[in-house]
Structure 1
Amino acid sequence: MACFLPLSEAVKENLRDGDTAAFEGFTHLIPTAAAHEAIRQGVKDLTLVRMTPDVVYDQMIGMGMASRLVFSYAGNPGVGLLRRLRDAVENGWPRPVEIEEHSHAAMANAYEAGAAGLPCAVFRGYRGAELARVNPNIKSVTCPFTGEELAAVPAVRPDVTFIHAQKADKKGNVLVEGIVGIQKEAVLAAKRAVVTVEEVVEDFSGLHPNLCVLPHWTVTAISVVPGGAHPSYTHGYYARDNAAYLEWDEVAADRERFRAWMEENVMKAGPDDFAGRVAGLRAA
């Protein structure tokens, strides 16, 4: 059953050096506060897994936390490339990072296979694509029933998954609304799961049909961090901070400016600061 912990304790108890870790979110509900706490704690040698890694992975890679990245499309959404990731891959700064690139379909299927306890995902994909030439973990298998050639990739089974969500009830069940992405599968595939939420409520009322409820037994720890997805948005709570993404492109372009920004906005900050960051972005 999920336990309620301050974010610093939840990260310390569930993220370890050398782990395979997923900080998942698709367009919104990015677990930024959890990623920043991991940075402050100096966790290292991580294999970071994610569909569409964005600014938080750029920050983690730039701080030397990652030795490997398993992903599908990496970029600063709506702006451009991830400059700290590119510097690590091309120049080994601040350390070399091994990359394993997949399509979105491959990553989604790999998470689903992990959630099902399967060793690999089999799907139609990669036909006509050349990604397999640079990724040895893309294989092909023949269907024993039809003879059709299909793609196969290893299941994704993180040591720990972090997500952000709207609400938890007092029993530890978690409500996710809006664009759900692959968060549910990422939690179910992981050995441990940490969820930051905007608030804790008695029960879930007025539910939208496009939602996901993660039962308490699928979650290891819950931390209440209002605003914890900033600069991404949380459906029903606050809007996307587009200016922050534009700013990041300039900050990340220079190593010294990047280090100074991280020191001021991450190393000297904390989870409580996130509520202030979204004060002017609150949803009506």
Structure 2
Amino acid sequence: MAKFLSIADAVAENLRDGDSVAFEGFTHLIPTAAVHETIRQGRKELTLIRMTPDLVYDQMIGMGMVKKVIFSYAGNPGVGLLRRLRDAVENGWPQPLEIEEHSHAAMANAYEAGAAGLPCAIFRGYRGAELAKVNPNIKSIECPFTGERLAAVPAIRPDVTFIHAQKADRKGNVLVEGIIGIQKEAVLAAKRAVVTVEEVVDDFDELHPNLTVLPHWTVTAIAVVPGGSHPSYAHGYYERDNAAYLEWDDIAADRDRFRKWMEENVLNSSPDAFAARVEGLRIAA
């Protein structure tokens, strides 16, 4: 049963040092506020999981919180590389970083296997690819029925998953609209799940019930953080802040400038700041 908590309490109660954690979001609804609270609370030795690590993973890596990243694409979307991730891999700053790279298909299937309680995902993939040479968690098996060679990867079962969504009702059911990505499976695969939302409403009576993607019993905690996915967008609420993604490339390129930005905008900030950041990006009702 989902509990309504502040984002500070939700992180404190559900994320521990050394955990494997997924902050999932695809194009929009990226749980930035949850990441920033994690940074403020100083978590260490995390294994980060995500199909498409972007700015928020760059920030956690640059703050020395991460020992490993499991992913299928890492980059500043529409801009280029993640400079803090690259610095950690190439130079060990601020600490060495282990990476485990997969294809999108492998990650999606691994989340689905985790959600189903299976030990691994089996699918057609990696044919003609050489990623298995550098990733020992990519195996092949023979179908016992057809003899076909198939790819296999371990199921993804995070200790905790964080996502952002548009609405929760007062019972703790969560509504996600727009591009869903793998958020639903990431929640169902996790031991604990925390959802930040734009708002809480009395009910979803005017909407089709199948839109309630996550029933209350799949969620551990809900925190209300308006604007909590900035600079990504929230479908129906505010637009993507493209300028912030462009700016990040310059910020992250310099270690000292990165640290200063993090001090001003994360360590010395609060969840309340997110609402102000999206004010000019809000979509008219």
TM-score range, shorter chain: over 0.9
Higher deviation after alignment, 179-188 or 198-207 = 198-207
Is 1:234–2:252 an aligned residue pair? Answer: no
Partner of 1:182: 182
Contact map agreement 2:173 2:212 (CA 8 A) in 1: no
Amino acid of the residue matched to residue 131 of structure 2? L
Partner of 1:23: 23
Partner of 2:254: 254
TM-score, length of structure 2 as denominator length: 0.98
Partner of 1:218: 218
Partner of 2:79: 79
Q: List runs of 5+ in structure 2 lacking aligned partners.
A: none
- CA deviation string 1:20-51 (max 9, x = no partner): 00000000000000000000000000000000
Partner of 2:199: 199
Amino acid of the residue matched to residue 233 of structure 2? Y
Q: What is the Cα deviation at residue 213 of structure 1?
A: 1.9
Partner of 1:45: 45
Distance 1:212 1:131, change over 3 A: farther
Q: Percent identity?
A: 83
Distance in 1 (CA, whole Å) between partners of 2:70 and 2:209 is 32
Amino acid of the residue matched to residue 97 of structure 1? L
- CA deviation string 1:248-282 (max 9, x = no partner): 00000000000000000000101111000000000
Contact map agreement 2:165 2:175 (CA 8 A) in 1: yes
Amino acid of the residue matched to residue 190 of structure 2? A
Amino acid of the residue matched to residue 274 of structure 2? F
Amino acid of the residue matched to residue 108 of structure 1? A
Distance in 1 (CA, whole Å) between partners of 2:205 and 2:229 is 22
Partner of 1:122: 122
Distance in 2 (CA, whole Å) between partners of 1:22 and 1:55 is 14
Amino acid of the residue matched to residue 63 of structure 1? M
Distance in 1 (CA, whole Å) between partners of 2:206 and 2:64 is 43
Partner of 1:171: 171
Q: What is the Cα deviation at residue 283 of structure 1?
A: 1.1
Cα RMSD (Å): 1.1
Contact map agreement 2:11 2:38 (CA 8 A) in 1: yes
Is the partner of 2:78 in helix, strand or coil?
A: coil
Partner of 1:103: 103
Is the partner of 1:99 in helix, strand or coil?
A: strand
Amino acid of the residue matched to residue 191 of structure 1? K
Q: List runs of 5+ in structure 1 lacking aligned partners.
A: none
- CA deviation string 1:182-237 (max 9, x = no partner): 00000000000000000000111443799452010000000000000000000000
Q: What is the Cα deviation at residue 95 of structure 1?
A: 0.3
Is the partner of 1:213 in helix, strand or coil?
A: coil
TM-score, length of structure 1 as denominator length: 0.98
Partner of 1:89: 89
Distance in 1 (CA, whole Å) between partners of 2:83 and 2:211 is 34
- CA deviation string 1:53-79 (max 9, x = no partner): 000000000001100000001000000
Is the partner of 2:79 in helix, strand or coil?
A: coil
Is the partner of 1:269 in helix, strand or coil?
A: coil
Distance in 2 (CA, whole Å) between partners of 1:51 and 1:104 is 6
Is the partner of 1:230 in helix, strand or coil?
A: coil
Amino acid of the residue matched to residue 53 of structure 1? P
Is 1:159–2:153 an aligned residue pair? Answer: no
Contact map agreement 1:177 1:208 (CA 8 A) in 2: no
Distance 1:214 1:46, change over 3 A: same
Amino acid of the residue matched to residue 164 of structure 2? H
Distance in 2 (CA, whole Å) between partners of 1:128 and 1:234 is 38
Runs of 4+ in 1 over 3 A off after TM superposition: 205-212
Equivalent residues in 2 for 1:30-69, closer than 5 Å: 30-69=30-69
Partner of 1:144: 144
